[in-house]
Amino acid sequence: MLDINKIRADFPILSQKVNGKPLVYFDNGATSQKPQVVIDAISKYYQEINANIHRGVHTLSQLATDAYEASRGKIQNHINAKFAHEVLFTSGTTHGINLVTNGFASILKPGDEVLVSALEHHSNIVPWQMLCEKTGAILRVIPMNQDGELIMAEYDKLLSDKTKVVTVNHISNALGTVNPIKYMIDEAHKFGAAVLIDGAQAVPHLKPDVQELDCDFYAFSGHKICGPTGTGILYGKEAWLNKLPPYQGGGEMIKEVTFEKTTYAELPHKFEAGTPNIAGGIVLGTAVDYMNEVGFDNIQQQELELLEYGTKRLLEIEGLKIFGTAKEKTSVISFNIEGIHPYDIGTIIDKLGIAVRTGHHCAQPIMTFFNIPGTIRASFAFYNTKEEIDAMVAAVKKAQLMLS
């Protein structure tokens, strides 16, 4: 069991007041808060070992390189990748997905098909659309039902020899649905298609095992797992990363450069051009250590309780409807109140110290599916409490009274 007071004491921002009220931070789907160990590790890096990596013979450069590569190793262990060179540092999920779509531009042919799910964040739709425009490939959509679950019978029908890529999130950011990705990966592989999993919303809640999943790519952001912004990871199977061309050209990603021809460095450097976010990459390892110390079993237990309690309490409110009622769901509650625009509720409850996201959550096709302008989204982390949910419910009731 979590000692919630101890956990909350790790996060200095949580004891702040916002608009004169104690902060209730329920926008964890957008970004997580940072524990003191992560904040301190950033300062420590700049105070003690700041230097560029992979190039200097001098001591600081060696120390920084060792710390950066040690962090890669931690993340390799965390996601159970077979090789450290399958773990690429990126600036976030968006960067990771674009790295892959850029690579597939030289692989896809006109008439090839890319399957994308109806539940995607824009960052797992738009890069694939751009790729299809460039290559003449066709984008097909795996549909969902009214609960916000992907329809596997339809997925099975869409798969064919034309399918070259399947791209799907592990967990939906807008609805919290946990997708049956193991099944989807196995079925796609029967047709020889590559599978990219957008793990941005999964890694805050669980430890993915990329070898067990057998996915070809798994992308996530560091800032959603207590790490710094501008950090992320793209896992790719060695064979795929060897096959794909580099994303960006520049220093660090080369073996030899002449004006006639350049040869590329081995993995992972082939995909890591230029000076990376060194401090961020190192501190992402600190964040992963922190999450593992808290323990994913504890995290899941706390979040499940919050999901159940939050769902029950919110449904007490007359006219409130929850969008996203999948059987497999994580701690995200998207809702609307009849006759009131989500933005108005969000604005009023912010004045009461409650931070939620309102709008389309960068998932406009989901809003179109439900024929709504957006939702109010409360996304809980392991450091949230039932008392905070009570504060949100009271604030939403107050807003409803004011607006009706």
Which residues of this chain interact with ligand 7TS, rule CB under 6 A? 29-30, 92-94, 121, 123-124, 169, 173, 198, 200-201, 221, 357, 361-362
Closest CA to 197 of 186, 181, 209, 180: 181
Buried b (16+ CB within 10 A) or exposed e, 360-381: bbbbebbbebbeeebbbbbbbb
- How far is CA 222 from each of CA 18, 77, 204, rounded to the nearest angstrom? 25, 16, 9
To ligand 7TS, the closest distance from the beta carbon of 153 in angstroms equals 24
To ligand 7TS, the closest distance from the beta carbon of 26 in angstroms equals 12
DSSP code per residue over 5-16: HHHHHT-GGGG-
Nearer to ligand 7TS, 27 or 112 (CB): 27
Nearer to ligand 7TS, 32 or 173 (CB): 173
How far apart are alpha carbons 79 and 100 in whole angstroms? 19
To ligand 7TS, the closest distance from the beta carbon of 164 in angstroms equals 21
DSSP label of 250: S
Whose structure tokens read 């299809």? 132
Nearer to ligand 7TS, 24 or 200 (CB): 200
How far apart are alpha carbons 123 and 101 in whole angstroms? 11
326 burial type by CB count under 10 A (0-12 exposed, 13-18 middle, 19+ buried): buried
How far apart are alpha carbons 195 and 215 in whole angstroms? 6
To ligand 7TS, the closest distance from the beta carbon of 181 in angstroms equals 13
Contact at 8 Å (CB) between 205 and 183?
no
Q: What φ, ψ does residue 145 adopt, rounded to 5°?
A: -100, -175
To ligand 7TS, the closest distance from the beta carbon of 324 in angstroms equals 13
CB atoms within 10 A of CB 321: 16
How far apart are alpha carbons 126 and 132 in whole angstroms? 10
User: Can you state the percent helix, strand and coil of the chain, rounding each to 5?
Assistant: 45, 20, 35
* Closest chain position to ligand 7TS (CB): 173
CB atoms within 10 A of CB 38: 23
- Assess whether 132 carries a catalytic annotation: no
Catalytic position from the list 132, 215, 226, 362: 362
Nearer to ligand 7TS, 124 or 336 (CB): 124
Nearer to ligand 7TS, 92 or 374 (CB): 92
To ligand 7TS, the closest distance from the beta carbon of 96 in angstroms equals 8
To ligand 7TS, the closest distance from the beta carbon of 124 in angstroms equals 6
User: Checking DSSP bridges between strand 232-236 and strand 87-90, what pairing results, if any?
Assistant: antiparallel
Q: What are the residue ranges of helices labelled H in 10-48?
A: 36-44
To ligand 7TS, the closest distance from the beta carbon of 139 in angstroms equals 17
How far apart are alpha carbons 103 and 83 in whole angstroms? 20
Nearer to ligand 7TS, 76 or 124 (CB): 124
Q: Which residues are catalytic?
A: 362
